[in-house]
Structure 1
Amino acid sequence: MSGNSRPVTSNQAEPHPALADTVGRHLAHPWRAPLADHDREAFQRARDWLGDSDAPLILDSGCGTGRSSVLLGQRYPQARVLGLDQSAHRLARAPRRFPIPDNVLLLRTDCAGFWRLAEAAGWRPWRHYVLYPNPWPKSAHLKRRWHGHPVFPHLLGLGGTLVLRTNWELYAREMAGALALAGRQASVSALAGGQPPVTDFEEKYRHSGHRLWELVADLDH
């Protein structure tokens, strides 16, 4: 894969000054936007697939082509892995590139809607991966970042171990700040080199010379 990805540029050099007000408002006022039928259908498909299994559940939100979901399914064969992505085009590439293990299901859905349905149903994932999302680097786009989005309390409510990776350090630091405002601790560290890439974005960013960052947080404490 060629390394032609540009580093993130932003007009924001520090955590957003409206972060605390935005997170506080979302924590105080539940998000009541209507849920889309396609998200309900995807969630029902996931419920049917899981059945009455008591295996640990892994969510891979924004899984793209499913590369990370497949690797997680191989790494944790005792778990069930749900790969979520809103792009049918990206998901359609998965079977042609990777054999899909029996413990992995890829679903087309909007993550925000799926998270709300999962939390309402009492799902408690063991691990939740959010790998290389679009960071929305302009300061005006704070509310499009997961920690500034009204779905943030539902992400917290799912619990489990959150693992987020990004090529924009400020994004990870801001997420850690939002988690702290909600009473959760997170660690942010540079991702060590030499590890096999887990997503197409990670491979492309490495080849482009980007420094990569990982946030890990236990949302149950």
Structure 2
Amino acid sequence: MSNTEKIGDSRMIETNQPDMHEKLVDIVHKHIAHPSRKPIQAHTQQAFDEINAIVLAFSGEVILDSCCGVGQSTRLLAKQNPDALVIGIDKSAHRINRNVDEVEHDDGQGRVENYHLIRADLNDFYRLVVTANWQISQHYILYPNPWPKAKHVQRRWHGSAVFPQIIAVGQEIILRSNWRLYLEEFQLAASIFSLQGDISAINDAEPLTPFEAKYQASGQQCWQLRIFK
């Protein structure tokens, strides 16, 4: 069975998993009982040390944009929150070094400058953020790789070893996907930490990411999970 089915200009997710993964709760409990002890990669430690100095010197609201890709969402969030420090993280140097000119241009309000794009491995970066006790107001995870095959559940963020750290970051967590089941699983995993969230359909006039724009143009419904602490 293929993972995807062509619809318009984007692909509808196809999975061999009809409902939430039967082992998800056990997987989350395993990661709680046995925290990751993997050594932090040097490039991520260096990137964290550099941005940590900026965070410590900043007295306002801090927003984290995980898996930011080309950084369009980071720039848009910075534009929407001009008094905040917005930090976008992605593992790909190629993606974060690309320019998104339509967000960078001067629209009469001045250039968007209150953001930083960082190349780092989030599996390590999240652990460093928790150890440093960053006070994040909003934590965005927009359109993560869904890994739709059931056997790949531990590659999804809520099935990963770092999930206990992910769920600890941010007063509010905002997750978006075109696969509602992904959000339902994340919501279930969060409930193990006594956290509640709401899933709703999104129909934004201005998509936050290129993926979101592509899905909406192809007629796919996109969904959002908001978890409040």
TM range (shorter): over 0.9
Residue in 1 aligned with 2:138? 127
Residue in 1 aligned with 2:74? 69
| 8 A Cα contact 1:57 1:125, kept in partner | yes
Indicate which of 150, 173, 184 corresponds to 1:139. Answer: 150
Unmatched segments (≥5 aa) in structure 2: 1-6, 105-110
Q: 1:61-140 counterparts in 2 under 5 A?
A: 61-94=66-99, 98-99=103-104, 101-140=112-151
TM-score by length of 1: 0.93
Identity value in percent: 41
Residue in 1 aligned with 2:62? 57
How far 1:114 sits from its partner (Å)? 0.9
Large movers: runs of 4+ above 4 Å: none
Residue in 2 aligned with 1:176? 187
Is residue 2:41 matched to residue 1:28? no
How far 1:52 sits from its partner (Å)? 1.7
CA distance in 2 between partners of 1:50 and 1:123 (Å): 8
| 8 A Cα contact 2:20 2:181, kept in partner | yes
What SS does the aligned partner of 2:159 have? Answer: coil
Residue in 2 aligned with 1:199? 209
How far 1:194 sits from its partner (Å)? 4.8
CA distance in 2 between partners of 1:81 and 1:163 (Å): 14
Root mean square deviation, CA, Å: 1.6
| 8 A Cα contact 2:147 2:153, kept in partner | yes
What is the total number of aligned residue pairs between the two structures?
Answer: 217
How far 1:182 sits from its partner (Å)? 1.8
TM-score by length of 2: 0.90
Is residue 2:218 matched to residue 1:213? no
| 8 A Cα contact 1:190 1:214, kept in partner | yes
Indicate which of 39, 43, 49 corresponds to 1:38. Answer: 43
| Cα shift readout 1:69-118 (whole Å, capped 9, x = no counterpart) | 11110111111000001111111112655427221000111112111101
CA distance in 1 between partners of 2:32 and 2:178 (Å): 27
| Cα shift readout 1:31-68 (whole Å, capped 9, x = no counterpart) | 11111001101101212333421111100001111111
Unmatched segments (≥5 aa) in structure 1: none
| 8 A Cα contact 2:178 2:223, kept in partner | yes
| 8 A Cα contact 2:76 2:103, kept in partner | no
CA distance in 2 between partners of 1:197 and 1:159 (Å): 22
| 8 A Cα contact 1:187 1:215, kept in partner | yes
Residue in 1 aligned with 2:175? 164
| 8 A Cα contact 1:3 1:206, kept in partner | no
Is residue 2:199 matched to residue 1:188? yes
CA distance in 1 between partners of 2:204 and 2:171 (Å): 27
What SS does the aligned partner of 2:12 have? Answer: coil
Structure 2 CA distance for partners of 1:95 and 1:6, relative to 1, 3 Å: closer
| 8 A Cα contact 2:72 2:100, kept in partner | no
More strand by share: 2
Quick check: 196-205 or 42-51, which moved more?
42-51
